[in-house]
Structure 1
Amino acid sequence: MNGNGYKIIWKYVKDIYIKSNLKISLSVFVLSAIKIFGVLIPPIYIVKIMDEAIPNNDGKNILLYIGIILFFTIFDAVLGVILRKLYNEMSKNTCIKYQRKCLEHLFRLDGKYLSNSRVGEKLVTMMNDVSQLKTLTSSAVFDFVLDSITAIVMLIFLARIKLDMLLMILCILPVIYLSQRYFQKKGREKAAKARDTQSSYADVLQTITTSTIPCILSNAKSYFFKKNDERIIESENYTNELNMVYAKNSGVLSFLSAMFIITVLGVGGFKVMRNTLSIGGLIAFNMYSQKLVVPILKVSNMIMTLQTVVVSMERLEAFMAEKEVEPRNFNPRAVMGKESSEISFENVSFSYEEKPILKDISLKFEKGCYNVVVGESGCGKSTLTMLLYRIWNVQDGLIKINGHDCKEFSVDNLRNNITIVGQDSFLFNDTIFNNIAMGSGFDKDRVEKCCRIACIHEYIMSLPEQYESLVGDSGVKLSGGEKQRICIARALLQDTPILVLDEATSALDQLTERKVLDNISEYIKDRIFILITHRLASIVDADNIVVLKDGEVEACGSHHELMRISPQYKTMFERKECIE
């Protein structure tokens, strides 16, 4: 393991054991030290039985010594159970903490990462890589320290029993060191490849499992099965190669362990025959030598295991280093309240990968007005919501809320006061009620009121389980329009001062859409409401319509004003009328 690997491990060890679980760590350290002390006792009394009690036919002391050995054996087992419970508690705390940190970080990442990252990579990072931290919260770290201490203590005991025999068995240690250097390097290489192929496989599997019906309807079974087979074979091949490195390393260590035993018994046997070592001394030396060898081999095995952990830690570090959208000039005292009167875009420009999306646009959305944004596909309508919600940061210009640059507010504060409903409806595999309330403690009356506004209450009441009906994965049991109306009801329930519907009624028929928008127009009198749509027939009564064309504001005004001054709007409206 290189120096950077040790630095990463040390960083996480400090955080897990000192910052997050100090009390548990101290308890584990004390109990482990006691456990080491207990391990040293039985061999002493075995020597007494062999060299003193048996030759003297001292049955009383034999029973006493056996009782002491039995006590410390049971004591060691009880301590092992207690330590395992403490390790499990630390492991649980660590997983919860780091998965929460990853999720919080994910929600604060900028649009560049969210647009380009692979789902499989994120899943493997937040599940497998975080899970690998359990290795540090098992007995591994304490065993590393305590086994090292144990080995040193055993060296002292063995030197007192027979120094020349100790020196002979120590000659095997350089062989262990050199073999471990080789296997650790190979292990880390294979672990990195195995981990990366797992993320590629997770990509394919996620697509198949979350989009099964679209895959079936696209007649894409053969294509996805082929990709699935390719990825799983690649992943399993690298995993098997990694396992073979572990197996070879284990075989070498087992051979070297046997060499220790052969050396001790062979050399010790000759010394017993020459009366330079007693039978009890040989048994004690063999027991202590095993307690020297076993810790050394355990440390070697643990370092080998840590190669996989280090790879996961490096991926976790890379993920946590991704850029967040937290404002550069964030003012902790600036708080966006529950009252918002105006949103203004001032000379805002934005490009995606050098492709201009918005070009020096300036516009306003006021409280209590029916604000609408229209334009052809790709003109930048949805980009406005992404910039407002701080998924992306504006590259030039300002977005102001109540006269304050939106970057002055924390991301969490900003997003807690803005609700956006997009075209793609997001539903959990849960009940309709829970999908709307989202565990926020709202009573049923408030939920039903919002459902009536979204024109979905009557449909829900027609279901056998009504609001307790399950929607299935991603709302598979509902139609597109039903899912959109449930999402609109959820947005209304959140009761934020700013509400944005971004093509959120695209799956509704024109009559239902009109009813929903009429209901919302009554609801939004004390809020800022923005509707992004391509259905112009539903917005003729809007107070403020913004027409975007090629990333620029072509015109603003009411429907009747735009029919006079905006060729783009007039063309779009007349074309829609002809189609409808």
Structure 2
Amino acid sequence: MTDAVLEPDVTARRAPRASLGSPEGDDVFGTFDPRIARRFFSYLGPHRRDFLITQVAVLLSAASQVTLPYLIGQVVAAATHHDAVRLHTTLIWFVAGAAAFVVCFFCGEWLSSRLAQRVIFDIRRAMFAHFQDISLSFMDKTHVGRIMARLQGDVNSLQEFLESSTGAVGDFATLIGISVMLVVMDVRLGLLTLLVLPALIGIRALWLPHSKKTFRLARDASSTANSALAENINGVRTVQETRREQLNFELYREKAHDNFKAQTGASWMSQIMVPTVDVLTGVAMSLVIVVGGEAVLDKRLEVGVMVAFLFYVQRFFDPVRMLSMQYTIMQRAMAAGHRIFEVLDVPVTIKDKPDALALEAFEPTVEFRDVTFGYEPGRPILHDVSFKVRPREVVALVGPTGSGKTSIISLTHRFYEVDKGQVLVGGHDVRDVTLDSLGRNIGMVLQEPFLFTGAIEENIRYNTSASREEIVEAAKAVSAHDFIMRLPEGYDTQLGQRGRNISVGQRQLISFARALVADPQILILDEATANIDSFTEQAIQKALKVLFAGRTCMVIAHRLATIRDADRIIVLQQGRIIEQGSHGQLMRARGLYHRLYTSAHASFDDQVVAATGDAEFATRT
């Protein structure tokens, strides 16, 4: 289905050319694709029994619905002929048929809704599980908003289709049943009534192309307005700081007005079919009344049949109207299914080999051997980088922005694959060991820690089985215990989204405690002290000695004073190692590290051009 689009043989860092970012990929309509339909309905496999029961209930409901007008006609005929026995018998059958219709209709609706929820639950779970494994190279190049649109909007379109498709079977059966009954009761009048159907199909064919264009414009306008709204909500702090409220309002009002016009047009196109069907229903009933009335007067047609015809014609266009709506739902579902399965078909490029080893009882070393790596083909970030971090050694990676520091730690954790060379952990190529064992043995603390909604205790424990005592001990070791106890509920305090109800520094301290509780053999810190004030940093520096004890550590830092006690400092520039050694050795070498450390700004990003005296370097960085 998506082989031509997604190119399953793409490299690990190359984002598959899915249509996540293209307007075509978000087209609200699609044509019927049997491959999409088969794949979608394959999710019905585990629920085959429920599906069959649902279809039986729907078909019984349709059969009851078709029978009722005929019984009404028989009641009228019996009353006309003053046949009391026939009248009473027919009334009993009518009550039984009405009761059967109510029960079957209710069961069909309830069962179809429950079945749709179960299938959609399976699809959501499959998508969520797949997103857990998709390589970061795909996530780096994909808008989160579009991913959420597929997880929510597109899945909801499939749910709507599944709920309506079971009803479509009943509507189609009802339409066929009514058509048969019309012809059986009176061939001439039945065929005359059915002549209205081609007119409806022709009108629908003329309406559909215009409706597609109108609905597509409405979808685009809604997406634009919602994007502008989300952007302003996310940036409300900046908006209020710069007093830009009025300008933003004017910009948003223009987009909202465009959305208003587009939605009005879409609403008009949606509603135009309703009076059209009503007019055709009126025409059909008029034909029945005029032609059928003359037949009744000429004694060629019974009054009961005439009454049954009127009821059948009145109900005939209800399934037509519903099938017309379901056709639109089907088109939308085909487009949604294509986008969903397109994501599910994104290849998982970072995965375990069949014979991958689990890291157990190993020497915690990290080694790079002639590693070349780039996020895009032909644009390497690292060039033939080689170094080795020995067991329980603290190595600092320093260098200007874009020099490849973060790439090194990402490759250590095998978030990406190297272009050339090897990355070894514990003497094993990271491609030969299981991802789970890498995750258990390598801990990371990032510059911007991500905390989940929930209690502080849960965030520190995370994916370990640590006890409350171990959590408190870890928090004390990193100087987080005091501020946690000052919170209203202590360790049971609920954190908001991304932990934004506490300060940045406090979030960082919690991430330190989380890393300490995980007790990894290899610890990586990526600017982990950048967002902590100087007073807190003094306590953190003491806590780091506890955290580093007995572990192999790799530290990225821009403030050079924070890593002067490292066993070894590796200086990177433009993806190459230009010098390495201890703080004392690098100071005596009087190279780039010495010049930056002795400058007024002990940071690689502060006045790096002045420190190097390289104007070309300034342009590149």
Same fold (TM over 0.5): yes
Q: Find the counterpart in structure 2 of residue 437 from structure 1.
A: 461
Q: Find the counterpart in structure 2 of residue 538 from structure 1.
A: 562
Separation of aligned partners in 2, 1:487 and 1:164 = 81
Report the Cα offset of residue 335 of structure 1: 4.0
Distance 1:57 1:407, change over 3 A: same
**Structure 2 SS opposite 1:360:** strand
Report the Cα offset of residue 502 of structure 1: 0.6
**Structure 1 SS opposite 2:577:** strand
* 1:190 equivalent in alignment to 2:214: yes
* Equivalent residue pairs, number: 575
Unaligned runs of 5+ residues in structure 1 are none
Q: Deviations over 1:413-464 (max 9, x none)?
A: 6445543322123234443233333476643222212212221111111223
Distance 1:468 1:127, change over 3 A: same
Q: Find the counterpart in structure 2 of residue 153 from structure 1.
A: 177
Aligned with residue 64 of structure 2, among 35, 38, 63: 38
Aligned with residue 243 of structure 1, among 267, 281, 305: 267
**Aligned AA (2:318):** V
Q: Find the counterpart in structure 1 of residue 92 from structure 2.
A: 67
**Aligned AA (1:351):** G
**Structure 1 SS opposite 2:599:** helix
Distance 1:227 1:87, change over 3 A: farther
Report the Cα offset of residue 503 of structure 1: 0.6
**Aligned AA (1:11):** R
Report the Cα offset of residue 411 of structure 1: 5.3
* 1:332 equivalent in alignment to 2:357: no
Distance 1:105 1:565, change over 3 A: farther
* 1:92 equivalent in alignment to 2:117: yes
Equivalence map 1:178-577=2 (5 Å) = 178-322=202-346, 324-327=348-351, 330-337=352-359, 339=361, 341-353=364-376, 355-409=379-433, 414-415=438-439, 417-438=441-462, 442-510=466-534, 512-525=536-549, 527-565=551-589, 567-575=591-599
**Structure 1 SS opposite 2:374:** strand
Report the Cα offset of residue 527 of structure 1: 4.2
Distance 1:261 1:8, change over 3 A: farther
Q: Which is further off, 164-173 or 332-341?
A: 332-341
* 1:120 equivalent in alignment to 2:142: no
Q: Deviations over 1:518-561 (max 9, x none)?
A: 43443445544321111222222222322111111122332223
Separation of aligned partners in 1, 2:127 and 2:259 = 24
Distance 1:576 1:490, change over 3 A: farther
Separation of aligned partners in 1, 2:229 and 2:348 = 28
Separation of aligned partners in 2, 1:540 and 1:194 = 59
Residues 76 and 303 in structure 2, CA contact (< 8 A), matched pair in contact too:
yes
Separation of aligned partners in 1, 2:534 and 2:521 = 27
Distance 1:157 1:464, change over 3 A: closer
Identity of aligned residues (%): 23
Distance 1:242 1:552, change over 3 A: same
Residues 65 and 174 in structure 2, CA contact (< 8 A), matched pair in contact too:
no
Separation of aligned partners in 1, 2:360 and 2:250 = 52
Residues 28 and 86 in structure 1, CA contact (< 8 A), matched pair in contact too:
yes
Distance 1:45 1:479, change over 3 A: closer
Unaligned runs of 5+ residues in structure 2 are 1-27, 607-621
Report the Cα offset of residue 410 of structure 1: 5.8
**Aligned AA (2:368):** F
Residues 8 and 314 in structure 1, CA contact (< 8 A), matched pair in contact too:
no
Separation of aligned partners in 1, 2:343 and 2:258 = 24
Distance 1:315 1:270, change over 3 A: same
Q: Deviations over 1:235-273 (max 9, x none)?
A: 443333322221122232222222222222222112111
**Aligned AA (1:332):** P
Residues 32 and 330 in structure 2, CA contact (< 8 A), matched pair in contact too:
no
Separation of aligned partners in 2, 1:527 and 1:90 = 52
Report the Cα offset of residue 103 of structure 1: 3.2
* TM-score, scaled relative to structure 1: 0.89
Separation of aligned partners in 2, 1:181 and 1:47 = 35
Separation of aligned partners in 2, 1:236 and 1:552 = 55
Separation of aligned partners in 2, 1:116 and 1:215 = 27
Distance 1:519 1:127, change over 3 A: same
Aligned with residue 82 of structure 2, among 46, 56, 65: 56
**Structure 1 SS opposite 2:381:** strand
